[in-house]
Amino acid sequence: MTDTSTPAPGITATATGGVTAIPGLLSGKVAVVTGGAQGLGLSMARSLVDSGAKVVIGDMNENSLAAAVEELGGAESAAGVVCNVSSLENVEKLAEAATRTFGGVDIWINNAGITRDATIRKMTEQQFDDVISVHLRGTWNGLKVATGLMREQDRGGAIVNVSSISGKVGMLGQSNYSAAKAGIVGMTKAVAKEVAFKNIRINAIQPGFINTAMTAAMPQHVIDSKLAEIPLGRPGEPEEVASVVLFLASGLSSYLTGTVTEISGGRHI
């Protein structure tokens, strides 16, 4: 009987046993990750690089970009581009940089995001517009540019859109964020139908309570209340989100498109 508790030699795993990288799985592939200079985006980029891809990360923070590229192995395996995803022109330049530096785009991860939380009574129009612009317009911009480029290349491709469990259930004080993340689900399904005939696959993920700097800063009583809703009894790790992105970005998921994967430990099932 095969022992499945320990990954095969060379395969990188999380402390919980999940696979985060499979050497050679993405050899010859070029990936773009928006919001990739830190947090979940950087974990995704690291998983892609460790699996053999060349990665271009787009982010607003120039200093974080430089540090991330260095962490990912330098210019041989990664590049960074200052990019505001709410600008179609910026996203086009991000794609152009990937093509110029590494020869095209095979994988595109729409991950960039912000929060501007407030109840609807206190939320300003600007707070609403900012979140919709980055998440929903930003994802649309990424889809428009990535699918256009992939169609021209005529070799297919994989796109992963980062939604959120907030887009499934709606969260207090997040009418802007929940609306944007729900919209990403509908957008994923619509565009997946439009480009499937070109072998371009588009899927979405919905992370739940993930162990990041943002969640670590929450008051302990808030953390405890969220953990009580999770059947697995713990927060997810960034690497566990990255492993699902790796699966959806690779040929391992070659017959999946238009799907939404919850990465929530069973919360809100």
CB 211, CB 237: distance < 8 Å: yes
The question of whether 177 is a catalytic residue gets the answer: yes
Task: Classify burial at 252, counting beta carbons within 10 Å of its beta carbon; exposed 0-12, middle 13-18, buried 19 or more.
Answer: exposed
CA triplet 115, 116, 120: central angle to 5 degrees? Answer: 130
Chain centre distance of CA 170: 20
User: How far, in Å, CA of 233 to CA of 215, rounded?
Assistant: 15
Catalytic residue among 102, 128, 140, 177: 177
User: How far, in Å, CA of 129 to CA of 100, rounded?
Assistant: 33
Q: What is the pLDDT along the chain (269 residues), one digit of tens a residue?
A: 334 445 655 677 666 656 788 999 999 999 999 999 999 999 999 999 999 999 999 999 999 999 999 999 999 999 999 999 999 999 999 999 999 999 999 999 999 999 999 999 999 999 999 999 999 999 999 999 999 999 999 999 999 999 999 999 999 999 999 999 999 999 999 999 999 999 999 999 999 999 988 788 888 988 999 999 999 999 999 999 999 999 999 999 999 999 999 999 999 99
Going through 171-230 in order, the beta strands assigned E by DSSP cover 200-207
In CATH terms, the fold of domain 18-262 is Rossmann fold (3.40.50)
- Domains of the chain: which residue ranges? 18-262
Nearest CA among 235, 236, 239 for reference residue 225: 235
Q: Can you give the pTM of this predicted structure? A: 0.93
